[in-house]
Amino acid sequence: MPQTGKLKIIGVIPARFQSERLPGKVLRPIAGVPMVRRVFDGSRGCRYLADLLVATDSEEVHRYCSDHQIPVLMTAATHQSGTERIHEVMQKRPADVYVNIQGDEPMLSAAHLDLLIEPLLSEPDILVTTLKTPITAEEAQNPNAVKVVTNSKSRALYFSRAPIPYHRNAASPLPFYKHLGLYAYRAETLDRYCRLAPSLLEQTERLEQMRFLEHGIPIHVSETSLDTIGVDTEEDWQTVNRHFEKLLNAAQP
């Protein structure tokens, strides 16, 4: 087990097969390798994880993982979010911290997860962490890229699909930041989240993390220069596929 003080940390990859916009995407090949495998391989180098597993509601995903030596748990098909799916895992695999590793983030790396987890190890008052990366003003206009603004203590003030902050002055020096949808939660905070009713801002923005903020649970946001592309659409898949094909071609002699 990695050296994390007294904390046991488990990484969970929620892998829902019937996604709304791109059904079956977690098994869709990216440069010849199913996406769930890409996510697992990118995550397992994290030095803080005591365990790493896939949580799914799909027999097909479960079969693939079992056949390819990827730890996997079957979970209910009724969950509305990856957070709820991880809460079910919590009932079966006790730990101090759970890391929500989105199953549609094949470009993530162990460096992302290290950065995500480290604030929980150094500051006991931090309950939830996530990541942000700088983007251009043009990229901020995309509603599929969730934006985040933070305070001077790196706590999230708001998340939105709209470009925030609004630049009333065109010469404003304030940058835009994209939210990377990875989370680490202390077990008691994850449990509390799942006992709270969905919040109005969560339902309006369709962003589950707003439930934390609306109920007064702060989210620590660390900055990374390593951007990722979450696969939500056919265009996303094509972009990520080209990225990995380029890496493979560059690695060939």
CATH number at 237 reads 3.90.550.10
pLDDT of residue 180: 96
Q: Which two tokens mark 220?
A: 């620590």
Q: Please report whether residue 249 resides in a domain.
A: no
Q: Are 153 and 168 in contact (CB under 8 A)?
A: no
Q: Please report whether residue 77 resides in a domain.
A: yes
Q: Please report whether residue 253 resides in a domain.
A: no
pLDDT of residue 6: 84
Q: Which two tokens mark 85?
A: 């799916």
pLDDT of residue 251: 76
pLDDT of residue 140: 94
Q: Are 177 and 132 in contact (CB under 8 A)?
A: yes
Q: Please report whether residue 210 resides in a domain.
A: yes
pLDDT of residue 41: 96
List of the chain residues with pLDDT < 50: 1-3
Residue 228 CB neighbours (<10 A):
23
pLDDT of residue 168: 83
Give every CB contact of residue 49 below 8 A, 6+ residues apart in sequence: 2, 9, 10, 11, 43, 99, 113
Dist CA 56 CA 66 (whole Å):
12
Q: Is the dihedral of CA 13, 19, 22, 24 positive or negative?
A: positive
Q: Please report whether residue 251 resides in a domain.
A: no
Phi/psi for 47 (5° steps) reads -80, -10
Q: Please report whether residue 4 resides in a domain.
A: no
Rama region for 152: left / alpha / beta (φ>0; ψ in -120 to 50; rest): alpha
Q: pLDDT by residue (tens digit) across 105-125?
A: 999 999 999 999 999 999 999
Q: Please report whether residue 181 resides in a domain.
A: yes
Dist CA 223 CA 20 (whole Å):
29
Q: Please report whether residue 250 resides in a domain.
A: no
Give residue 115's domain range: 9-244
Peptide bond into 165 cis (omega under 30): yes
> What domain count does the chain have?
1
pLDDT of residue 5: 61
